[in-house]
Amino acid sequence: MSEQSIRQVFEKDGTLAKHIDGYSERTQQLEMALAIGDAIENNTQLVAEAGTGTGKTFAYLVPALLTGGKVIISTGTKNLQDQLYSRDLPNVRDALKVPVTVAMLKGRANYVCHYHLERAELEGRFASREDAKYVHVIKTFAENTKTGDKSELNSVPENAMIWASVTSTRDNCLGGDCAYYKECFVMEARKKALEADVVVVNHHLFFADVMLRDEGVAELLPSANTVIFDEAHQLPEVAGLFFGEDVSTSQLLELARDCTTAHLTLAKDCVALGNAIPALEKAAKDFRLVFAYEGSRLPVQKALALKGFEEAFDHMQSQLRALATVLETQAARDPLLEKCWQRSEALCDLFRRWKTAENNNLVRWVEVFTHSVQLHATPLSVAEGFGKQLNAQPRAWIFTSATLAVKSDFSHYLERMGLQDAKTGYWESPFNYQEQALFYVPAEMPDPNSPSYTASVVAAALPVLQASGGRAFVLSTSLRAMREIHALLKEEFIENGIESPLLLQGESSRTELLDRFRKLGNAVLVGSQSFWEGVDVRGEALSVVIIDKLPFAPPDDPVLSARVDKLNAEGKNAFMEYQLPYSVITLKQGAGRLIRDENDRGVLMICDPRLITKSYGKRIWQSLPPFKRTRVLADVQAFFEKEV
């Protein structure tokens, strides 16, 4: 692949311009494509930040397809995975006229399992009438689909409870012992991935597989010439999940559910099994009751100090051990019973290891959900674990996102991911932010920790929302602040006769909320983490993004606290080297929702006075796109008057 062949594809009258509607030449896109082409050619590592509108997807697809060889592309979300596979890859492949085969591989929970579908139907135990109805819809789908991918079945909601009963997990898959092994949708997807030139996966699948050797990527990696991570800013957190060890009470409840199926259909005569299953279920639920609030994240010391923790934990462990003992006596009767026994033994080991803290490099902490408790052991750093993958054999590794650097400095990201040998590339957005957008920091805001802060955010936001006629995202850094902002805005809208519809994250799915937001055209959507990234609303429907606070990770976050202590103990400045870069990268994601194409116009409003009052504030706003800046409300009002 020559430099000239890449240039010819991207130039004004080149290959892409001839074949793709709306394509326009961008210098940044070409430069990025050339850098990626060089990395692929020389089997090197490249970390590339490309501002919104650069067209980074085409910038990595063109050199990857022109070079040939096996390519794995990992994305941040399943939505982006679907978009790449269904739209971007076919478009570029057809334009380049290269005969590459493409496959998409998802985690096994995305594919209908013939065995578990049959079990669910025979057993007939459903959480609701809807689930009883859905099982027949899914059966018809399984008989007619080629892929078994549940995203193709729109008539059953993605979050329907029935999916857990008709898909497999790593724990309950029977593998080669399954009667349906030859027809298995998961195995078929893996087979296609092994044969394809380009395979699209997502980050969770990539790392789950690298660590667990379960999802089919491990078989792909040895033959891959190039690995490309899109939305690479998510990798440190995702990798941390898989380089550590987690175990959850929901895994115990799933084990109990599968044991119940096995008991009723294969071992009804085993009275001890019938007694051990509900005993474990109750113990797991009782352990959840030790914790008061959902959404809390506790360091291990605080969790262990809770009244009843030790007793409930030990009881849960003993009931799990009792179930494992019974299952061992029944395992020879059927592969399902054997699998349940193996799972119970593995879970016993995980709970024991978490409690005894065998690995000093892992931070132990507890996360509480509505119906379950997850026990985490997270590595302080993923650099060493990931570094082993990077150096396993020669291949190109490409990391790209719109948010990886702090003022074009990549050192924070490189250090976290163990990318000491990587080259870096930084390309600013081609959009004209000086003309298209305004960055507004309101004057006279109180300290973000003051009790009146959220009310002040709403008071400052109200005249901006009136000037814009709604058309806004209001993004908060916590669910609590989100709910408070929504309640206060609701009151103000009624009091001031503002007719913009007010939407709230959680009222329905993110996809549904975004569809409503686009259709309404004058709505205000109040959201938290779900809307900070991966959301693309072009045009006038989104003309304001209001952010309540700088998104620093909560100081009581157990993993953050441990990492900060470690950096400070090493004589480093944890705030400047870790907490500030994290905040900048997150803020850039939120700010990036505003201007999505060359015709968009809008106002970014960040309410946090620390942007002005703190010495690090300048470093933060200098990392954002080059907006025209103001602290005067009248400038914002004049900006919107220009639209009319």
Structure-model confidence comparison of residues 244 and 350, the more confident one: 350
Q: Report the predicted TM-score, pTM, of the whole model to 2 decimal places.
A: 0.87
CB count, 10 Å around CB of 626? 15
Mean pLDDT of the chain, nearest integer: 91
Structure-model confidence comparison of residues 554 and 495, the more confident one: 495
Contact 285, 389 (CB under 8 A): no
Structure tokens at 511: 């996809």
Alpha helical stretches, state H, 358-430: 383-390, 411-417
Q: What is the pLDDT of residue 407?
A: 86
Radius of gyration of the chain (CA): 26
Please give the Cα distance from 198 to 410 (Å, whole number).
28
Q: What is the pLDDT of residue 481?
A: 94
Structure tokens at 275: 């007694």
Please give the Cα distance from 549 to 323 (Å, whole number).
49
Identity of the residue numbered 296: S
Sheet architecture: strand order including 297-299: 245-248, 373-379, 362-368, 297-299
Alpha carbons within 13 angstroms on the beta-carbon side of residue 186 total 26
Annotate 321-341 with b (16+ C-beta within 10 A) or e (fewer): bbbbebbeebbeebbbbbbbb
Please give the Cα distance from 219 to 217 (Å, whole number).
5
Burial class (CB in 10 A: 0-12, 13-18, 19+), 20: middle
Q: What is the pLDDT of residue 65?
A: 96
Structure tokens at 72: 């794995």
What's the average model confidence in pLDDT over 491-514? 90
Please give the Cα distance from 154 to 89 (Å, whole number).
23
Alpha helical stretches, state H, 214-334: 217-220, 235-243, 249-266, 271-288, 300-305, 309-330
Strand partners, 229: 74, 399
Structure-model confidence comparison of residues 287 and 161, the more confident one: 287
pLDDT tens digits for range 317-363: 999 999 999 999 999 999 999 999 999 999 999 999 999 887 777 89
DSSP SS3 for 572: coil
- What stretch of H or E contains 398? strand 396-401
Strand pairing category for 362-368 and 297-299: antiparallel
- What stretch of H or E contains 30? helix 27-42
Confidence of residue 640 (pLDDT cuts 50, 70, 90): very high
pLDDT tens digits for range 609-635: 999 999 999 999 999 999 999 999 999
Closest by CA to 440, choosing from 641, 638, 640, 628, is 628
Q: Which domains does the chain have, with CATH numbers?
A: 3-100+197-230+382-427 (3.40.50.300), 108-186 (no CATH), 243-379 (1.10.275), 433-641 (3.40.50.300)
Q: What is the pLDDT of residue 420?
A: 86
Strand pairing category for 224-230 and 245-248: unpaired
Please give the Cα distance from 524 to 470 (Å, whole number).
5
Residue found under tokens 């990931």: 386
Please give the Cα distance from 32 to 478 (Å, whole number).
35
